[in-house]
Amino acid sequence: MLYAVALQESGLRRGGRLVPWPWTLNVAGTARRFGSHVEACNGLNKALREVPPTRIDAGLAQINLGYQKHRYSHPCDLLDPYRNLAIAAEILREQHTPGEDWLLAIGRYHRPAGGAPAARYRRSVSQHLARVVGPSRADASTRRNTP
């Protein structure tokens, strides 16, 4: 499921395939892609001088710098793929209610208030998941107890 979220959040076409891209920023609604951790960190520091942290998402799972500031020490920590996905898993666990479909938590990951934006996001992530593991396995995997 985390892979499907990462595809939705930072997916980039490379060699004809959609892959998550760790050095992706979203700054005030505009995607910015970088070729390395150093370049992305420099871009992130520049973005922080341009817009409030709540308008910046970073890394594979596009963690918001403002709303999730309690989860990292330095903004560039979010560009470490392992740390970024660990934070995404924490957020998903917090959004999940035991016994419910993980896709509902995935929708709240994108928009905690729910509604139409969360539903659209759930559908998109579900499509990525189905392409990765197959439709029947995707349905089964969203009902398990772990992200």
- Each residue of 15-38: pLDDT tens digit? 999 999 999 999 999 999 999 999
Position 120 scores a pLDDT of 97
146 in any annotated domain: no
pTM: 0.90
83 in any annotated domain: yes
14 in any annotated domain: yes
119 in any annotated domain: yes
Position 102 scores a pLDDT of 94
What is the domain range of residue 109?
2-141
78 in any annotated domain: yes
Position 137 scores a pLDDT of 61
101 in any annotated domain: yes
147 in any annotated domain: no
Domain count for the chain: 1
Position 133 scores a pLDDT of 87
23 in any annotated domain: yes
In whole angstroms, give the CA distance from residue 136 to residue 40: 37
| pLDDT tens-digit series, residues 105-147 | 999 999 999 999 999 999 999 999 999 888 766 565 555 555 5
| pLDDT tens-digit series, residues 32-91 | 999 999 999 999 999 999 999 999 999 999 999 999 999 999 999 999 999 999 999 999
